[in-house]
Amino acid sequence: DQQVKQNSPSLSVQEGRISILNCDYTNSMFDYFLWYKKYPAEGPTFLISISSIKDKNEDGRFTVFLNKSAKHLSLHIVPSQPGDSAVYFCAASVIKAGSNYKLTFGKGTLLTVNP
């Protein structure tokens, strides 16, 4: 049973446009969310995170939005660059509970930014 779902296996956008990657979760206990980026043959790299007490967090070209009532989060990349082409994983954690170290990942979305 997938607790973190990324329903789009792939996304293709033009350079300079906005990329929107979506993530849904089913476990209402999740209170901390992260996005990781992964290039081929490398490990995932932390990108940005958001706590459930916020609905938006921004870092340069990357913004994460959280809609708790819908159990949905999204990552916006503006403007998209060819170097952003990678697999993006959404992950969630339960900070309040004792297992706050454990991340539950989605299956990932392959983003391709075309020049």
Partner 1 sequence: GAGVSQSPRYKVAKRGQDVALRCDPISGHVSLFWYQQALGQGPEFLTYFQNEAQLDKSGLPSDRFFAERPEGSVSTLKIQRTQQEDSAVYLCASSLGVVGYGYTFGSGTRLTVV
| Nearer to partner 1 (CB atom), residue 9 or residue 16 | 9
> Is 66 a binder of partner 1 (CB under 8 A)?
no
Neighbours of 99 (CB within 10 A): 9
* Footprint (CB under 8 A) of partner 1, residues 88-107: 89, 91, 93, 95, 99-107
> Is 1 a binder of partner 1 (CB under 8 A)?
no
Minimum distance from CB of 38 to partner 1 (Å)?
A: 9
Spell out the residues 6+ positions from residue 87 whose beta carbon is closer than 8 angstroms to its own.
Answer: 37, 38, 39, 108, 109, 110, 111
